[in-house]
Structure 1
Amino acid sequence: MLPLRPDARATSRMNAAYVLEAMHDPTLQRQVGIGLREGRAMVGRLIRQALEDGHMPADRDPDIETDLILALTGFATLIELDVVEPQAALAAIDQHLDRLFRPAA
C-alpha cells in the first residue's frame, strides 16, 4: 500500500516505526520476520498461479518476480520522504506490472 492518502500515510508510518523497533528487539524481529515471510510466500503463490494460468510469459522466474513485486513497496519510503512523487511511483509500478503480465509471444 502506497502512502497516497492520509490513512495510508498513517499506516505507512506505523509500519516504519514497527520495523525500526523490530531491528532492536529480537523477539519482535522474529515475529515481524514470520509475518513478512508469510506475505512473501503469498505473493509467490499468486505469481506462480499467474504463471500457471498463462497470465505472464512462461520464462519468468517466479522467485525473482516475487522479489521484484516486493521491492516496489520501497516506494512507500521514497514517497514519504519526497524523493519520488506519488504519480511517478504509480507510473513505475504500472509499467512494471504491464511488462510482467505481457502476454506470451
Structure 2
Amino acid sequence: DVYKRQLPLHADARATSRMSAAYVLEALHDEAVHEQARRGLVQGRALVEQLVRQAITDGHIDSGRDPATETNLLLALTGFTSLIELDVIEPQDALAAIDVHLDRLFRST
C-alpha cells in the first residue's frame, strides 16, 4: 500500500504532488535545480531497482524478468499522478491498474 501514499488521493498527497510538479518545472529552467533533481531521481530509481533485484533474488519475482525494465515499468506508474490530478482517470482506476501490474509481477514466480 506504499504506492497509495504516492498518488494524490488525499489533500496532503495532492499538495506534495503539486509541489513536485512545480519543482520539475523549475528544474527545466534552472541548471542547479535540474542537477539536484536529477541526482535525487537517479538515486530513487537505483533504490527501486535494488528492491526489484532483491525480490528476484528472494524468488518473489520470476528470475527471467529484467530488473531494469521492471523498475522502469514500476516508475512509469507514477504517471498516474497527473492523470488523477487533471481528472483524466478516477483514483480507483489508477489503483486497480497498479494492483493488476503488481499481481502480474509478483505472481510470475
Provide the TM-score with structure 1 as the length reference: 0.97
Q: Tell me the residue number matched to 2:18.
A: 13
Number of aligned pairs? Answer: 104
| Amino acid corresponding to residue 42 of structure 2 in structure 1 | R
Structure 2 unaligned blocks of 5 or more:
1-5
Cα RMSD for the two superposed structures: 0.6
Partner of 2:27: 22
Q: Does residue 51 of structure 1 match 2:56?
A: yes
Structure 1 distance, partners of 2:12, 2:61, is 33
> Mapping of 1:1-105 within 5 angstroms?
1-104=6-109
Question: Which consecutive unaligned segments of at least 5 residues does structure 1 have?
Answer: none
Structure 1, residues 24-50: CA drift from partner, whole Å, max 9, x if none?
A: 101100000000000000000000000
1:92, distance to aligned residue in structure 2 (A): 0.1
Which stretches of structure 1, 4 residues or more, deviate above 4 A after TM superposition?
none
Identity of aligned residues (%): 65
Supply the AA of the counterpart residue of 2:24. V
Letter in 2 for 1:63: A
